[in-house]
Amino acid sequence: MYFVTSPYVIKSLSKRNLCWKIRTDEKNIYLTFDDGPIPEITPWVLNILEQYKAKATFFCVGDNIKKNPAIFNQLVQAGHTVGNHSYNHLSGWNYLSKNYLENIGKCEDHLDSGLFRPPYGKITPTQILRLRYRKYTIVLWSVLSGDFDQKITPEKCLHNVINNTRKGSIVVFHDSLKAKENLFFALPRFLEYFANKGYAFKELTKEVCAKKPSFYKSSFGNK
């Protein structure tokens, strides 16, 4: 089970420690891609992003960087930012904080980033505090495409992102084999839809994430 948009109560309780959305009056969307780099997927994503002059943030799995260093270098050279997604795509709920942080540190050996996204969004309060002590910015999301869900249609995946994305939204896709069918259908159509409405696609940085959103003001209707 997963939520396309994160429940208000979870965001409001954790907004001081986690970045869910970017506060902005500009028509900016923050695209993110999890789980790569993958040879069959990531180069295609980079090509589509280039067509729309879009920048994005790739939350990379350390083991995939080790296996595919040329593709990782390609996305960095294209001007995208990278974030840590642990070395082995670990759920923080299943590991002691010590082991979890060691795995994150192992991923950091392969990239230089102060951004971290917990795989599955699963992380404990203790892990959050220890990562923040180490100066990580922990990034979650506003909109989850569900592209990894092979039980939904590509059209449903596209509906998820178009109907829920607003100014400042952090949107999650996956450059993974599991997401391929939904991703290949939804991503170019998503980019075209919002580009035609005058939106720009921006990369995340620690400074951008420091612009905390207000969850007490509805952003609906701001497309």
Active site residues: 34, 174
Cα separation of 68 and 62, whole Å? 10
Residue carrying structure tokens 């409405």: 197
Residue carrying structure tokens 């109560």: 9
**Is the separation of the CB atoms in 193 and 201 below 8 Å?**
no
Let me know if 55 is exposed, middle or buried by CB neighbors in 10 A (0-12, 13-18, 19+): middle
Find the angle CA(58)-CA(59)-CA(65) to the nearest 5 degrees.
90
**With helix as H, strand as E and coil as C, how does 145-178 read?**
CCCCCCCCCHHHHHHHHHHHCCCCEEEEEECCCC
**Is the separation of the CB atoms in 64 and 39 below 8 Å?**
no
